[in-house]
């Protein structure tokens, strides 16, 4: 039985999580179908290389949760797919629930590990703000939203079939009329493989350049704790945590962040966590892979200098 993965674009680019979904799909089935809405053949190629056998293109004009759920359900039925993988992104979270209702299946959200088969999936997901993990077995039909950066992207070669679907979005009650760009993240937090985050320990907004310089050198996105956001030092779009963004980068560098449970909820699944904090008792050190007990205003510029030497 096939597995269906819903690809997501950002502007003209295929989001990396789309490739993670088709790669994850191969753990469940030898037939992975990707649904590509408003994408190009170049996007389809990227999906094939990451694990898709079939890419179904659909030209639904604009995003709406009902419309996407209707199209995805129709394509899943046409391809005989009972397990549907969706990015755990703002958009994916928006339509996954509707899609689960539409296909009469269960919904597992914010999954970080997946295995099993296209009849029964086994997933692992953080619960209680990342304090514990739940392992679930779900019989198909099932909709699974997968946390960006949690899955390895494989290199795949095989048949590359592009099909088109005229599945319609149907009656749509709510429409997105406008998106206003926020404060302007240089690199999107959710997709970043390295994140440098600052908390109350950075003392004030005038000190962001200390962290931004390190971001620029290593190609990281800039994150923040809620304390920094609530103080008005930076836009909410940068907030990591329970009431901010959930991230799963390869490396998360926490600077002057104590490590409250609500912050850990958003970054606890990072592969490597580096904590820089002058308080050796700060809870962030309990989850850190590497800890530096020192003043961030000494450590961060020193790191930036060293990375500049290595990376040029």
Ligand X SMILES: Cc1cc2nc3c(=O)[nH]c(=O)nc-3n(C[C@H](O)[C@H](O)[C@H](O)COP(=O)(O)OP(=O)(O)OC[C@H]3O[C@@H](n4cnc5c(N)ncnc54)[C@H](O)[C@@H]3O)c2cc1C
Burial class (CB within 10 angstroms; exposed 0-12, middle 13-18, buried 19+) of 93: middle
State the minimum distance, in angstroms, from the CB of residue 284 to ligand X: 7
State the minimum distance, in angstroms, from the CB of residue 169 to ligand X: 33
CB closer to ligand X, 85 vs 254: 254
3-state secondary structure the chain: CCEEEECCEECCEECHHHHHHHHHHCCCCCCEEEEEECCCHHHHHHHHHHCCCEEEEECCCCCCHHHHHHHHHHHHHHHCCCEEEEECCHHHHHHHHHHHHHCCCEEEEEECEEEECCCEEEEEEEECCCCEEEEEEEECCEEEEECCCCCCCCCCCCCCEEEEECCCCCCCCCCCCCCCCCCCCCCCHHHCCEEEEECHHHCCHHHHHHHHHHHHHHCCEEEECHHHHHCCCCCHHHEECCCCECCCCCEEEEECCCCCHHHHHHHCCCCEEEEEECCCCCCHHHHCCEEEECCHHHHHHHHHHHHHHHHC
CB closer to ligand X, 138 vs 265: 265
State the minimum distance, in angstroms, from the CB of residue 218 to ligand X: 19
CB closer to ligand X, 32 vs 292: 292
State the minimum distance, in angstroms, from the CB of residue 146 to ligand X: 21
Half-sphere exposure of 54 toward its Cβ, with a 13 Å CA cutoff? 19
CB closer to ligand X, 5 vs 276: 276
State the minimum distance, in angstroms, from the CB of residue 94 to ligand X: 19
State the minimum distance, in angstroms, from the CB of residue 276 to ligand X: 6
CB closer to ligand X, 81 vs 292: 292
CB closer to ligand X, 220 vs 227: 227
State the minimum distance, in angstroms, from the CB of residue 257 to ligand X: 4
Could you list the residues that contact ligand X (CB under 6 A)?
A: 199-201, 225-228, 239-244, 256-258, 260, 262-263, 266, 276-279, 282, 295-297
CB closer to ligand X, 4 vs 254: 254
């Amino acid at each position: 039985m096939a597995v269906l993965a819903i690809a997501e674009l950002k502007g003209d680019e295929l989001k990396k999580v789309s490739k993670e979904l088709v790669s994850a799909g191969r753990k469940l089935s030898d037939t992975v179908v990707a649904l590509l809405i408003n994408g190009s053949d170049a996007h389809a190629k990227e999906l094939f290389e990451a694990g898709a056998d079939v890419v179904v293109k659909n030209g639904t004009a604009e995003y709406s949760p009902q419309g996407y759920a209707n199209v995805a359900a129709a394509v899943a039925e046409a391809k005989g797919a009972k397990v549907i993988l969706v990015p755990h992104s703002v958009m994916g979270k928006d339509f996954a629930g509707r899609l689960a209702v539409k296909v009469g299946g269960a919904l597992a959200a914010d999954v970080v590990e997946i295995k099993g088969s296209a009849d029964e999936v086994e997933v692992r997901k953080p619960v209680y703000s990342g304090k514990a993990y739940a392992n679930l077995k779900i019989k198909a039909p099932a909709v699974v939203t997968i946390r960006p950066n949690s899955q390895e992207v494989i290199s795949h070669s095989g048949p590359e079939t592009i099909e088109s679907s005229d599945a319609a979005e149907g009656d749509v009650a709510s429409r997105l009329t406008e998106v206003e760009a926020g404060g302007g993240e240089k690199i999107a937090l959710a997709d970043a493989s390295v994140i440098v985050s600052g908390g109350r320990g950075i003392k004030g907004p005038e000190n962001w350049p200390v962290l931004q310089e390190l971001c620029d050198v290593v190609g990281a996105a800039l994150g923040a704790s809620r304390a920094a956001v609530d103080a008005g030092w930076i836009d909410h779009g940068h907030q990591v945590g329970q009431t901010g963004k959930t991230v799963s980068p390869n490396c998360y560098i926490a600077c002057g962040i104590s490590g409250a449970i609500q912050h850990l909820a958003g970054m606890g699944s990072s592969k490597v966590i580096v904590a820089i904090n002058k308080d050796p008792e700060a809870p962030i050190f309990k989850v850190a892979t590497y800890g530096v007990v020192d003043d961030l205003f000494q450590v961060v510029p020193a790191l930036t200098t060293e990375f500049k030497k290595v990376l040029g």
